Amino acid sequence: MELAPVWINPYTIEKSRTGGVIARLLSLCPHELVAARMFCPSRELVEKYARLIEGKGSAESKVIREQIRNYILENWVEKKGARNKARVMLLLFKGENAIADLRQHVVGPIKRKSILGETVRDTYGDYIKDSQGRVRYFEPAVLIVPESGEAEKTLKLWARYSDRDGGVLTKACHFSGSRPPEMTLVLIKPESFRGRSSRAGNVIDVLSRAGLRIIGAKVVHMSINQARNFYRPVVAALVERLKPRAIAQIRPLLQSEFDFEIPERVFECIGDNLKRPYAQAEFNQIITTMTGLEPGKVTEQKLRNRPGPEKCLALIYQGPNAVAKIRSVLGATDPTKADWATIRRIYGHSIMDNVAHASDSPENAGREIKILKMHDNQFKTVVNEFYRSKQ
């Protein structure tokens, strides 16, 4: 079993290629995505990382490593006078032979003879030489650990700096104009992570139309209590929304049983009595969908606080009017009522299977970020626990 990191480069992020890269990674990689974290790497971290990757392997490999070393020293640290800091997204995969699989079948080599569009670097990377064989342009799109033996030292290094250099990067980006930037949370729901699928990455790709910046990322396994707290505000809306649906379902059944016209006030009374248990049943279904656990069957408090088997990817976006922009691109809760070209119209199937959640106000964004513990260092925990178990 191995941990295999993938670093999405600042240029890839700035060019809004993040979603396309993630789509390729998740659809091609047979291994589990176990952690995600945003970084603004300090020069100290980058220089130590550069020393880990230089001067190893064959003569050709040493040349490539030297180019990577120069690339990160030039592009992964804050440039003097720059308004925006370099942002790196680190994704962590876990599985047997994960490092070799990522290198050979998912990310692909930096230097290649053909471009088939199969791997990440086929589409998003460049390695261009002039007629004398000198490298004219070099953009690897993402970086990986090339050999299994290098993973532990590299990941432990990044884990040591992950509190200081990583997390929710609230001060990484500059935004012009007088309006202060907002933060909003997007939660890509579990149906996008059941099996190998490009959907989560495609969703991020469409979200890039909002013109915002990703400043936080985390893989989330919600507990029952966490999901109940997260979705608590929807209960009141469910109660009122489900009353007409309850009446619509009960009306033909009652009318078929009686040979007289049932007064409307009777249906109103039935609707008032059914709406709350109906809403509770729907709410429980939301909890089950998000956690993979049935709340009625898990009664012990300790177990209700335990992370469920279902996986989500939580992202924090920042920018002016961020909440409204994201919700506009996401579309209406019911995919059949969402505007054309919105995420839910393209990828959603029902109100339950509607791809993603987005905060409806800056205040709720703050509440949801807190509930999901977006400031916690999940990456460091995963790395430390994995290598501790190997001792």
Residue-wise pLDDT for 137-153, tens only, equals 888 999 999 888 889 99
- Determine which helix (DSSP H) or strand (DSSP E) holds 213, and give its type and residue range: strand 213-220
pTM, 2 dp? 0.91
DSSP state of 81: T
- Ranges in the chain annotated CATH 3.30.70.141: 1-167+375-391
> Backbone phi, then psi, for 278, in 5-degree steps?
-65, -45
Lowest mean pLDDT among 172-186, 238-252, 273-287: 238-252
d(CA 274, CA 89): 47
Average pLDDT over residues 356-380: 96
Please give the CATH architecture assigned to the domain spanning 1-167+375-391: 2-Layer Sandwich (3.30)
Active-site residue among 31, 174, 349, 357?
Answer: 357
Residue 298: CB partners within 8 Å, gap ≥ 6?
224, 304
- Half-sphere exposure in the Cβ direction for 71 (13 Å, CA): 23
**Is residue 221 annotated as part of the catalytic site, yes or no?**
no
Name the nearest CA neighbour of 291 among 227, 373, 334.
Answer: 227
Report the share of the chain in percent with pLDDT over 90: 58
Under 8 Å CB-to-CB from 145, ≥6 apart: which residues? 4, 5, 99, 151, 154, 155
